[in-house]
Amino acid sequence: MAIEKILKDDASEEKGERARMASFVGAIAITDLVKTTLGPKGMDKILQSTGRGHEVTVTNDGATILKSLHIDNPAAKVLIDISKVQDDEVGDGTTSVVVLAGELLREAEKLVAAKIHPMTIISGYRMAAECARNALLQRVVDNKENAEKFKSDLMKIAMTTLSSKILSQDKEHFAQLAVDAVMRLKGSTNLEAIQIIKKPGGSLKDSFLDEGFILDKKIGLGQPKRIENAKILVANTAMDTDKVKIYGARVRVDSMSKVAEIEGAEKEKMREKVKKILGHGINCFVNRQLIYNFPEELFADAGILAIEHADFDGIERLALVTGGEIASTFDNPESVKLGHCKLIEEIMIGEDKLIHFSGVEMGQACTIVLRGASHHVLDEAERSLHDALCVLSQTVNDTRVLLGGGWPEMVMAKEVDELARKTPGKKSHAIEAFSRALVAIPTIIADNAGLDSADLVAKLRAEHHKEGCNAGIDVISGSVGDMAELGISEAFKVKQAVLLSATEAAEMILRVDEIITCAPRKREDRM
């Protein structure tokens, strides 16, 4: 008798070798997809959305590429997930983590074909990952004590991160921007405090960091365009019609005159509110919500700069920079903390008018204005800058630094190789495979740069045989160079996260020996 069908109609089930094959193929396909974006000479991808307008994104950020893919293969989904987590956690290395996991699986496939049990491979990988991490730990440089050196470390990391992105032409400029911005955060990782304003026009070089704060808003009509020694009240309150919030209240009138009276009362109420606000002795008022014409006029009469509809982030940042608190009631002016700044003025960037707050008290937030030829360039610049900022802010907390340019991979590979030689049993094959997967990364970097990877990597390996070697791939000159001299650095935290999550993901996929796909949920066709 035929084996009973136990799953639902459209469900599918893949077992043993087939299941493993499906995962390997899926994961390796994803890896090959993003592989070409790795390294300073990595290429970009164009992504076209299926949504309305078929928006186009040009990027070489691994996380962004993978996020926009619609994948059906479950193993591929695991890889996309680790890249997302890498993005959230450290911000950079999103491509590397996928490539390393993919290479680990590619090596594992060969081992499985050579009849080594996946569990043996996993335990080998685990030992290798541990060993690799220790190798890195031994070679990290920590310049926490020396502020000057640490700053130059940050600068190098920023340049290294940016060199693989669209900003690489002006990487010094942008690295400086990013380092300055992150140093202002004073150890906080809240990147929300760094505002990035994109204005098309000009060139990337014209981008700048503003010490103060720029709000992308217009100043109300007839109000002063320039205020010195501003006292700012940051508010989140309704300045349109101040509704009565008690439930069920409604206005019921029987004649036109009554309507007028109520309207008068409403106006009176608003006038009183404005008066109370004025009672704080301010000369600038920033509100999160709308300000209607009437109160705006009142503010203009009092010679106060009123800014409406600043979004929530804007308000929060403004509160951070100026040191004021966000107010919603105005009954006790003496205890509300006002924000201060030396000068508020309207400035022009390109064609747009913006409000510029300078000479602020607390420098925790700042603004970076990006200029560039097109929206695509700006978007990509923003992503790149975001990566750099993420890495820097993480490095400020964990100050350990490594060299870049394939150096860490070679150091790890060497140690792992050594371990393989010492380990008896089948595990040593897996450990060797791990080291091969590590070496694949500098190979890909070299390949992407159009260099002779086999030659370079072999040279590199020979160099690394010496103790305390700083050799890595110098993509610019196309040879093996001293990474310390070239100033190519990476954050230890990023490398560690790459190593651990890639191993974890590879392990997870290797352990699978059966894939059961449930019948897709039927969607009602509304079309």
d(CA 412, CA 406): 10
- Cα dist. 105→20, 109, 112, 364 in Å? 10, 6, 10, 44
Burial class (CB in 10 A: 0-12, 13-18, 19+), 379: buried
472-499 burial, b if ≥16 CB within 10 A, otherwise e?
A: bbbbeeeebbbbeebebbbbbbbbbbbb
Rounded to 5°, the CA angle 61-64-69 comes to 130
The amino acid at 394: Q
- Identify residues 326-365 at the interface with other proteins (CB under 8 A): 326-329, 331-332, 335-336
If one asks whether residue 513 binds other proteins (CB under 8 A), the answer comes out as yes
Residue 95 annotated as catalytic? yes
State how far Cα 135 lies from the chain centre: 28
Among 67, 77, 218, 436, binds other proteins (CB under 8 A): 77
18 binds other proteins (CB under 8 A): no
What's the angle, vertex CA 339, arms to CA 334 and CA 343, rounded to 5? 130
Name the catalytic one among 31, 57, 61, 322. 61
Q: Which of 422, 521, 524, 526 binds other proteins (CB under 8 A)?
A: 521
Active site residue 59: no
305 vs 326 by CB, closer to other proteins: 326
Q: Whole-angstrom Cα distance, residue 176 to residue 202?
A: 19
Which residues, 361 to 400, sit near other proteins by CB under 8 A? Answer: 390, 393-394
By CB under 8 A, the residues from 289 to 328 that bind other proteins are: 316, 319, 325-328
Map residues 154-193 to x or -, x wherever contact with other proteins holds by CB under 8 A: -----------------------------------xxxx-
* Run of H or E including 287: strand 284-287
Q: Which CB, 337 or 459, lies closer to other proteins?
A: 337
Exactly one of 113, 221, 249, 348 binds other proteins (CB under 8 A); that residue is 249
Q: Which is nearer to other proteins, 81 or 172 (CB)?
A: 81
Q: Does 3 bind other proteins (CB under 8 A)?
A: yes
- Separation between Cα atoms, residue 387 and residue 519, nearest integer Å: 39
List 52, 245, 421, 526, residue binding other proteins (CB under 8 A):
245
Interaction of residue 137 with other proteins, rule CB under 8 A: no
| Contact status: 55 vs other proteins (CB under 8 A) | no
CB of 125 to other proteins, least distance (A): 10
Whether 92 sits among the annotated catalytic residues: the reply is no
* Cβ proximity to other proteins, 306 vs 509, nearer residue: 509
**Options 114, 221, 246, 527; binder of other proteins; rule CB under 8 A:** 246
Distance of CA 49 to the CA centre of its chain: 20
Out of 258, 271, 275, 375, point to the residue binding other proteins (CB under 8 A). Answer: 258
341 phi and psi angles, rounded to 5 deg: -155, 160
511 is a contact residue toward other proteins (CB under 8 A): yes
* Marked catalytic residue, from 31, 59, 64, 95: 95
Alpha helices in 60-144 (DSSP H): 62-67, 74-89, 94-113, 118-139
Q: What is the DSSP letter of 42?
A: P
Among 250, 421, 465, 526, binds other proteins (CB under 8 A): 250
Annotated active-site residue in 31, 59, 94, 399: 94
Whole-Å CA distances, 60 to 196, 384, 441: 20, 9, 16
Contact window for other proteins (CB under 8 A) among 112-120, 174-182, 401-409, 452-460: 112-120
Residue 291 corresponds to which amino acid? I
